[in-house]
Every structure is written in structure tokens, then in C-alpha cells.
Amino acid sequence: MTVEQERSGTRSEPVAGEHDDDIVITPDSRLITEEPGLGGAARAFRRRLAQGELGNLPVLLGIAAIWIVFQSLNDRFLSPVNLTNLMLQIAAMGTISVGIVLVLLLGEIDLSVGAVSGFAAAVMAVLNVKHGWSAWASMAAAIAVGLAIGAFQGAWITKLRVPSFVVTLAGLLAWQGALLYVLGGTGTINLSDPGIIDLTSTFFGPVVSWVIAIGVLVAYVGAVGLNRRRRRAVGVPVAPIRVVAARAIALAVIVVVATVTFQRDRGLPLATVLLVGFVVIFDIITRRTRFGRHIFAVGGNAEAARRAGISVDGVRLAVFTLCSGMAAVGGILAASRLFAVNQSSGGSDLLLNAIAAAVIGGTSLFGGRGSAWSALLGALVIGSIANGMDLLNVESSIKFMVTGAVLLVAVTIDAVSRRGRATAGRF
């Protein structure tokens, strides 16, 4: 703080994106003095709960509760076969939801992702089956179509200032029509190319699975250690070592249990590796890069971000482009699992589930708060509910109502937490 600022009562705060690769102090990284003893810990927990600062813990507890309930009602729910099927079922939805998370971080919405996923899958199928393109070439073309659609919609939103709700709602209708046009009178195109169907039909054996599991744990420990050194180097507070150790142990338990479970069935699904890989990549992008800091800055306060020199329109354009690209990847995974593309591809409740997964997983509808892990956790919640009710032969009407209730609870918690943070910020 300079002398002039001290006299005037003002002070300069670091702005997201102000420094190239420097660590920026965010609200989550500020050191808060807690009261000692159990009473102080309890009061700190209540404060963090009221302000929504418990991270992914509530969602993890929710998943555990759902699994316990369905396992008590049907002992096949936690069987290796069913858990493997569950991961295959959520692969496409979770992948699409990763892109939705990015859009929600901006405080925007994209209602076209379902239709885009179906249209991109249709492009892939037509090129592969009818025109003889290779699997990789047809999938690349499908992803390129998704990226182009996202860039087009993003440009319309940023340049013409049309609300994203309206633009993507129009896209929902337009790309659904494009899907029907591309399929033509065929209606359904069956897929038989191994390069496509193997995306959801490949399972890794014990050796590869354990190599991946160990690689994940080593990468996590290395990333945490590097991050702690960087934070200490610039004087930013770091989490206590016991907290870091507890997180590492929890991750190790999850990874080991998941690997053992998969090996008791067909093996580790490639689709699961792809989904988790996308989550990790976009988590790194959002939390460890300048572009990611710009996303949070724009979502938190677009005008402040603009004054800080951030290209708000450029960030929005890039995010909508990535969102539609991820929708195309999700459409490819869905087509691979069903061995076909038809007129209903990307329809039904796919769009609503993808958005609900991001919100249920902890991404705020108001922008500026969330993570890529929300997509995976939220998809697990929705997928577990659907899978468990299918095992119990519950009617679809009940399934929709329960999923809607869970979404309402998640949004309510988000709104209450946001109000709690706003109230705390005034003191």
C-alpha cells in the first residue's frame, strides 16, 4: 500500500488476469483466522456451510447417501457390473456437462448442446458409413462442426449483444432440423466401424488399469507439491499439511477401490478414462491458466474484468466454442455406445440432464463459481438416480420428479450460499 493510498483510505487489490503467470490471490486462498477448540471449529464449519465454501463435500456426501439407499433396496446396485454400466451411461452426458460448466462460469447458458451433439454425431455417421471416411477423419469432422457452431453462436452473442438464452434456444431448433436434414430419409444409421464403437466398448486389463491409477496419484501429489512451493514463494497461505494428506489419502482410496471394482467386471472402461481426462484437462485450464482466471473474472464481474484489460468478448467467444466442441464429443460417445445415430439423437432429456449435472455438482448459475469436477459429480448423482430407479422398475414419471427435486435443492443451496457470501462481504 502506498502512502497516498493510505491517506485516502484506498488500497489496491489484485485483479484476476492482471499478471501473466503470477499467482493471483482469490477469496478461496485468503487466510482466515479460526477460533481454537471444538467450538471454534464448529462455528467455522457453520460459516463455511452458510457461504457455500465446503467445496465438493456436500455432493460427495449426497452420492454416498444415494448409493446407500439404492444398495439397501437392491443389492445389485453396487455390484461391479452395474457400477461399470453406470460409468458408461454417464460418459456422454458428463462430457457435454463439462462444456456447460464453462458457460455457467460466465453466468450464461447454452440450450443448444443436446441438438449440437446429435447433429455432430449425424455428420460423423454419414461421412463414415455413406462416404467411406475413416473413423478418425469422420470424428474430427464432427468435432470441427461442433466448434464452428459454437463460434457462430458465440459471435452472435458477443457482437450483436443478443442474450445467450435466445441465441442457443434458436440453435436448439435449428440444429435439430439440421440433424433431420443430414440423416435424410434414412432415419437411422447403424455404426460398425471399430474405431468409433470401441470408444465405449474398450476395457483395460489389470496392468494398464493399475498403471493409470498409479499415474493419477503420482500426478496429483506432484501437482500439489508444485502448487505449494509456488504459493510459498509469493507469500500466499497454503493449506495445512494434514489437510493435504487427508485429501491425498481420500483420492488414493477412491482410485484403488474404483480400479479393483472395474477389474472385477470387464476392466477399466476407455469411456471413463476419456471423461475423467476431459474433467482434469478443463480443471487445469480453469484453475491454472490465465484464460481460466479470465473466465472467473468475467463471470464474477464482467465490467470489472473489462476495466482490468480482459477481452470479455474474446473469453465469451472461446467458451461458447469449447462448449459446442465438447457437445460434439459427447454426441460421438453417445453414438458409439448405441452403435447408431437416429432422429432422436441428442434429444429427450440429454440437454436438461447435462445442465442439471453441472448445477447439482456445484457450479453456480450466477457465474464465477464452480469447477470442471462439477460435471463428473453431478453426472454421477443424476446417473445414480436413474440407474437405481431402473433397477427398482420405478416409472419414468417418478424418475423425472426425483431428478427435478434434486436440481431444485441444488439451486436453492446455491442461492442461499450466494446470499450468505453477500451478507458476509458487508461486514
- Mean pLDDT, residues 407-412: 82
Higher pLDDT pick, 193 / 4: 193
CB 59 within 8 A of CB 370: no
Average pLDDT, the chain: 85
Residue 111: which CATH number?
Answer: 1.10.3470
Share of the chain above pLDDT 90, in %: 64
Note the pLDDT of residue 198: 95
CA 356 to chain centre: 11
Q: Are strands 188-190 and 340-342 parallel, antiparallel or unpaired?
A: antiparallel
Q: Which band of pLDDT confidence, cut at 50, 70 and 90, is reported for residue 420? A: low
What distance in Å separates the CA atoms of residue 165 and residue 364, rounded to the nearest whole number?
Answer: 16
Note the pLDDT of residue 406: 84
Q: Which band of pLDDT confidence, cut at 50, 70 and 90, is reported for residue 1? A: very low
Residue 9 confidence (pLDDT) above 50: no
Q: Which band of pLDDT confidence, cut at 50, 70 and 90, is reported for residue 256? A: very high
Higher pLDDT pick, 243 / 128: 128
In a domain, 368, yes or no: yes
Note the pLDDT of residue 49: 54
List the grid coordinates of 76.
445389485
What distance in Å separates the CA atoms of residue 292 and residue 191, rounded to the nearest whole number?
Answer: 37
End-to-end CA distance of the chain: 22
Note the pLDDT of residue 411: 80
Q: Which band of pLDDT confidence, cut at 50, 70 and 90, is reported for residue 10? A: very low
Residue 12 confidence (pLDDT) above 70: no
Residue-wise pLDDT tens digits, 283-319 = 999 998 999 999 999 998 999 999 999 999 999 999 9
A 10 A CB-CB count for 404 gives 12
A 10 A CB-CB count for 113 gives 33
Residue 35 confidence (pLDDT) above 60: no
User: Which of 311, 268, 292 lies closest to 370 in space, CA to CA?
Assistant: 292
Q: Which helix (H) or strand (E) holds 203?
A: strand 203-204
- Which residue type sits at 121? A
Note the pLDDT of residue 2: 42
Residue-wise pLDDT tens digits, 336-360 = 999 999 999 998 889 999 999 999 8
In a domain, 95, yes or no: yes
Residue 36 confidence (pLDDT) above 80: no
In a domain, 77, yes or no: yes
User: Which of 281, 316, 269, 335 lies closest to 84 in space, CA to CA?
Assistant: 269
List the grid coordinates of 368.
464465477
Q: Which band of pLDDT confidence, cut at 50, 70 and 90, is reported for residue 425? A: low
Note the pLDDT of residue 24: 37
SS3 (DSSP) at 360: helix
Residue-wise pLDDT tens digits, 138-148 = 999 999 999 99
In a domain, 25, yes or no: no
What DSSP designation does 18 have? S
In a domain, 112, yes or no: yes
Residue 158 confidence (pLDDT) above 90: yes
| Domain boundaries, position 396 | 57-205+267-422
Higher pLDDT pick, 281 / 53: 281
DSSP string, 134-194: -HHHHHHHHHHHHHHHHHHHHHHHHHH---HHHHHHHHHHHHHHHHHHHHTT--EEE---H
Number of folded domains in the chain?
1
Q: Please compute Rg for the chain using Cα positions.
A: 23
Residue-wise pLDDT tens digits, 42-86 = 555 555 555 555 567 788 888 999 999 999 999 999 999 999 999
Residue 18 confidence (pLDDT) above 70: no
User: Which of 269, 148, 253 lies closest to 208 in space, CA to CA?
Assistant: 269
User: Which of 424, 290, 413, 287 lies closest to 362 in space, CA to CA?
Assistant: 413
Note the pLDDT of residue 50: 53
- Contacts of 72-81 spanning 24+ positions with Cβ under 8 A: 73/388, 73/392, 74/388, 74/391, 74/392, 76/391, 77/387, 77/388, 77/391, 80/261, 80/262, 80/264, 80/265, 81/265
Which residues, 6 or more positions from 420, have their beta carbon under 8 angstroms from its beta carbon? 50, 51, 52
Q: Which helix (H) or strand (E) holds 341?
A: strand 340-342
CB 296 within 8 A of CB 16: yes
User: Which of 111, 80, 117 lies closest to 95 in space, CA to CA?
Assistant: 117
In a domain, 49, yes or no: no
Helical spans, DSSP H, in 184-265: 194-197, 206-233, 241-263
SS3 (DSSP) at 242: helix
A 10 A CB-CB count for 218 gives 10
User: Which of 347, 350, 374, 218 lies closest to 282 in space, CA to CA?
Assistant: 374
